[in-house]
Structure 1
Amino acid sequence: MKNAVVKGALALALMVTVIGCKEAKKGATEAATEMEEAVEAVTEVAEVKTISFKMEPKSDSDVQGNVTFTEENGTVSMVGTFSGLTEGEHAIHLHETADCSSADGTSTGGHWNPTNEPHGKWGDATGYHKGDIGNFMASADGTGTVEFSTDQWCIGCEDENKDILGKAVIVHQGVDDFTSQPSGAAGARVSCTGIIE
């Protein structure tokens, strides 16, 4: 009888130990998973890319400024500030080549259009270029700001349909009508910068 009690106690102790080990292992696995998720979250937050450029006057204008692109969590945001503009609306686009060497900015080529869509307003069902940013307002003192964000761009991802490196930012004298092909009849190119990392 005594031996049976001892054996029973040992069996019970062994069962408790096994259950305890399983719970400890489960806890350790959960802790490891939480740690991996935390590391991934920190990595995602750390992956913020920012590039900034000065805009230079073109076509005998005085239009200059700065443009900054920031990529975070799969979205690229652009902020541009300008001076020397005429009062009213002005078009701004990404063009296909980061070459501002010509006096009129035409060395940048046409709008960046890797998907071969017609020119249009960003988000239109009828189509638009990946470089069709749109219009912004300049005040009476000639200053203006444009802000734009999209998940259809990236900075240095080497996806030819999304990567803005190697492109140019062009500010136009006139307004993009979102209809005229291939560029919205926006007029002269009055400011330029090439996007090169």
Structure 2
Amino acid sequence: MRHLTILSPLLAAGLLSACATSGSADSASEAPAVNSASINLAAPDGTSKGTATLTQTNTGVRLVIDGRGLTPGGHGLHLHTVGRCDAPDFASAGPHWNPSHVVHGKDAPGGPHWGDLPNLIVGTDGTGKLEATIGGTQLTGGPNPLLDADGAALVVHASPDDYKTDPSGNSGGRIACGVVTPN
């Protein structure tokens, strides 16, 4: 009997500990928040066309892109809803990230949607850099994360985005694409 008296508090403590651990395990099994992601841009033939990073900030998702080997001038740049970049046309990247279902372009009535980005301006040396923040957005979590079950991609277009023509700003063909990869 004496052993049962000693074991009972130990068993109770063990059960309480197991319950507490069980609750922690459930929390630990939830996917951690992604604070940054990387993108390697490539042409249809696999040639590198630059890199980009996405970083979660308090105000939205910050994009920094370093393009290279691109034709001088402006290039439309958009976030797409599927994390695939199948050559030759990158149509596998799907449509623009547009969970609010608004029209394309900052200059269009009712626009822009979250996949709309400023044009990437490329110099005569074939390089271009862009830094922009997509306000009110999240890489993961929340009702409309960029990185959902099928991922996301960044696409560079042949021509500049006119910021008003739906669905892609009259920005021409998709000349480079990169899958958004969580860091």
Find the structure with the greater CA-based Rg: 1
Render the CA deviation track for 1:141-162: whole Å, top value 9, x for unaligned.
10001111133221211422xx
Structure 2 gaps, min length 5: 1-32
Q: In structure 2, how many angstroms separate the alpha carbons of the residues matched to 1:48 and 1:128?
A: 25
Choose between structure 1 and 2: higher helix proportion: 1
Q: Secondary structure at the match of 1:107?
A: helix
Q: Which residue matches 1:181?
A: 166
Q: 2:113, 2:134 → 1: CA distance? A: 13
Question: Residues 72 and 178 of structure 1: is their aligned pair in 2 closer, same or farther, counting only changes over 3 Å?
Answer: closer
| Equivalent position SS for 2:92 | helix
1:90 and 2:53 equivalent? no
The answer as to 2:82 corresponding to 1:100 is: no
Aligned residues: 147
Bigger shift: residues 149-158 or 89-98: 149-158
Aligned residue in 1 for 2:115 = 131
Alignment gaps of 5+ in structure 1: 1-46
Q: Determine if the alignment matches structure 1 residue 164 to structure 2 residue 155.
A: no
Q: Is the 8 A contact 1:50 1:70 kept in 2?
A: yes
Larger relative contact order (Cα-Cα within 8 Å, sequence gap ≥ 6)? 2
* Alpha-carbon separation, structure 1, partners of 2:165 and 2:142: 30
Match of 1:155 in 2: 139
Specify the SS of the correspondent of 1:132.
coil
Tell me if structure 1 keeps the 8 A contact 2:82–2:152. Answer: yes
CA distance in 1, matches of 2:166, 2:58: 34
Question: Which aligned runs of 4 or more in structure 1 are off by greater than 3 angstroms?
Answer: 60-63
Post-superposition shift, 1:63? 5.6
Do 2:76 and 2:161's aligned partners in 1 also have CA atoms closer than 8 Å? yes
